[in-house]
């Protein structure tokens, strides 16, 4: 299909599409939404302009492989048969990875240059990149550095990419989290216990906020707030006195210490944690606490474990309450794709084709007032945090209303 790119007419025939970073619901819907438009356009395009959609396997990792010896590991042609029902489920049929072409090691190894050499060897005329701010940021850099036609689509179950009011993957993660919380609630009430449930959510606590409120949690702890364990203890004791049980939902990105916290909160939290670490009963907590933090290829700390800290501190510093810890983990990424994620993914894929027709390269679709608008890949970033004036923020702790 002939379109305008950088003021010149180009013939886009072979389109590559990849998914990077964590999997989530909606990836397959974006792919199918784009393929539908390609198929539709091919009905009227001359043969020399007809398009094909090729899935690049395992995200950016595909472009680090040798096209001459590993082509079957790099890409696969996508058809309606492949995608007809796939958009109804989570995950990605073309697989994913957390490969950072712009890491220090990869820059020294000239990975971006090699990736674009491979793009040419594979005969690709355009790349469509689905992912969060790290993956989309890499797409923007490559597109600019090598003047190559590039598009993106914003995914993340965390719902924290700027430029869109919602990312696909979020609603499905919330739905699965609520299901998890409600199942746990059966045991919570039957045995009159206090459960600490850790949910995914790196720097933004949208999933924990929505799921905690919708699932009926008594307390919700978020990365965006000051977590004062003294206040958490008071609220737990209030819930137990009021109803005999308690459920705490904590986002994995919540923390006990921060430079932004008041000093007395940091000091108090440290004192309470130190007493846990000094108790031989919590030797495993102490051992994990002493391990160095792991980073992914983009330099992000691999989170997980705040729930164990909260659980241990509460168990150590309260009396007469039986506690349990549950980490929902990756389970909330999977299952059936929520209807809203299916629709949003299909809309994003459809919009990418429109952007291509209009020559709006170097963009990704964002949702604004229920309209799809083009956003600049070079301006993408994460950190769409929950603002303090958000209505749900003040509603999140049900125990405040007991």
pLDDT at position 71 is 84
User: How many Å apart are CA 68 and CA 306, to the nearest integer?
Assistant: 46
- φ, ψ of residue 63 in degrees (nearest 5): -85, 5
User: How many Å apart are CA 232 and CA 213, to the nearest integer?
Assistant: 17
- Given its phi and psi angles, is residue 360 left (phi above 0), alpha (psi -120 to 50 degrees) or beta? beta
- φ, ψ of residue 364 in degrees (nearest 5): -140, 150
Nearest to 94 by CA among 5, 171, 20, 197: 20
Nearest to 132 by CA among 60, 198, 36: 60
pLDDT at position 375 is 97
pLDDT at position 261 is 96
- The radius of gyration of the chain from alpha carbons, rounded to an integer in Å, stands at 23
Ranges in the chain, pLDDT < 50: none
Strand partners, 11: 2
pLDDT at position 227 is 96
Q: Coil, strand or helix: which one is 194?
A: strand
DSSP track, 328-349: -GGGGG-SBPPHHHHHHHHHHH
pLDDT at position 297 is 56
pLDDT at position 304 is 59
Whole-structure pTM value: 0.91
State in Å, rounded, how far the first CA of the chain is from the last one.
Answer: 62
Nearest to 22 by CA among 330, 367, 251, 294: 330
CATH 3.40.50.450 residue ranges for the chain: 2-168+337-379
Listed in sequence order, the residues at least 6 apart from 234 whose beta carbon sits closer than 8 Å to its beta carbon are: none
pLDDT at position 316 is 97
Average pLDDT, the chain: 93
User: How many Å apart are CA 288 and CA 284, to the nearest integer?
Assistant: 6
Domain 2-168+337-379, CATH class in plain words: alpha beta
C-alpha dihedral sign at 177, 180, 182, 185: negative
Interval 372-381: pLDDT, tens:
999 999 999 8
Strand pairing report for 75-77 and 52-56: antiparallel
Query: Which sequence positions are flagged as catalytic?
Result: 158
Q: Coil, strand or helix: which one is 287?
A: helix
**CATH 3.40.50.11740 fits domain 173-333:** no
- φ, ψ of residue 101 in degrees (nearest 5): -65, -20
């Amino acid at each position: 299909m002939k379109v305008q790119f950088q003021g010149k007419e180009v013939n886009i025939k072979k389109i590559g599409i990849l998914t990077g970073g964590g999997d989530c619901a909606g990836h397959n819907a974006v792919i199918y939404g784009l393929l539908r438009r390609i198929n539709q356009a091919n009905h009227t395009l001359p043969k020399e302009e007809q398009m094909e959609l090729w899935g690049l396997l395992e995200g950016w990792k595909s472009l680090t492989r040798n096209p001459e010896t590993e082509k079957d590991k790099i890409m696969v042609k996508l058809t309606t048969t492949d995608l007809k029902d796939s958009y109804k489920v989570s995950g990605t049929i073309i697989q994913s990875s957390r490969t950072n072409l712009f890491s220090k090691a990869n820059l020294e190894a000239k990975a971006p240059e090699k990736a674009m050499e491979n793009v040419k060897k594979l005969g690709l005329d355009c790349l469509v990149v689905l992912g969060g701010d790290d993956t989309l940021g890499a797409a923007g850099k490559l597109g600019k550095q090598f003047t190559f036609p590039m598009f993106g689509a914003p995914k993340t179950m965390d719902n924290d990419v700027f430029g869109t009011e919602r990312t696909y993957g979020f609603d499905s993660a919330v739905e699965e989290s609520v299901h998890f919380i409600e199942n746990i609630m059966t045991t919570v009430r039957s045995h009159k216990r206090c459960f600490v449930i850790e949910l995914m959510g790196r720097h933004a606590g949208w999933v924990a906020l929505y799921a905690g409120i919708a699932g009926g949690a008594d307390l919700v702890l978020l990365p965006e707030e000051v977590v004062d364990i003294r206040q958490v203890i008071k609220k737990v004791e209030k819930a137990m006195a009021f109803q005999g049980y308690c459920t705490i939902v904590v986002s994995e990105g919540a923390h006990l210490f921060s430079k932004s916290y008041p000093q007395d909160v940091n000091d108090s939290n440290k004192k309470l944690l130190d007493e846990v670490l000094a108790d031989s009963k919590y030797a495993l907590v102490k051992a994990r606490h002493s391990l160095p933090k792991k980073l992914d290829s983009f330099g992000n700390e691999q989170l997980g474990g705040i729930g164990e800290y909260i659980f241990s501190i509460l168990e150590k510093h309260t009396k007469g309450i039986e506690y349990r810890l549950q980490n929902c983990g990756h389970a909330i990424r999977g299952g059936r794709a929520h209807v809203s994620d299916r629709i949003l993914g299909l809309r994003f894929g459809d919009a990418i084709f429109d952007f291509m027709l209009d020559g709006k390269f170097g963009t990704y679709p964002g949702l604004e007032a229920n309209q799809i608008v083009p956003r600049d890949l070079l301006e993408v970033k994460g950190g769409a945090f929950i603002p303090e004036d958000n209505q749900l923020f003040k509603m999140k702790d049900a125990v405040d209303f007991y």
